[in-house]
Amino acid sequence: MASVKLKAKALEGGLVEVKALMTHPMETGLRKDSAGELVPAHYITEVVVTANDKEVLKTNWGGSVSKNPYLAFNYKGAVGDKVKLTWKDNKDATDSAELTVE
C-alpha cells in the first residue's frame, strides 16, 4: 500500500503548493515496549521532492518528528509539473509518490 499521500496544486503568482502525509512509525529509539525493552529507532532520515526531475526540496529528519509526518511547502512552478516525493529511512527503506500538477 502506498505510504505517501501527495497533493500539489498551482497557486496564483507562479507557485505550486505541495502537501504530503507519510505513513511511518517514526520510532525515536527511546521508547520502551511493554516488556521494558527499548524499541529500535526507526525514522525517516531524508525527504526529497523533485519537480520535473529537478530537486525543489531536500530535508533531513530525525526521531523527533511525530508519527505519520506532514510536510507542506511552496515552490516556483506551474501546472503540468511532475512532482515526486521520495523518503528514505534509517533502515534504508524508501517509498515515493508522484503526480502531475493540475
| Interface contacts to other proteins, rule CB under 8 A | 1-3, 5, 7, 15, 19, 21-23, 25, 27, 31, 33-34, 39, 51, 54-57, 59, 64-77
Contacts for 18 with CB less than 8 Å, ≥ 6 apart: 6, 7, 8, 49, 57, 71, 72, 73, 74, 75, 83, 85
Distance CA 25, CA 42 (A): 7
Q: Smallest distance, Å, CB 89 to other proteins? A: 15
Q: Smallest distance, Å, CB 75 to other proteins? A: 6
Nearer Cβ to other proteins (68/100): 68
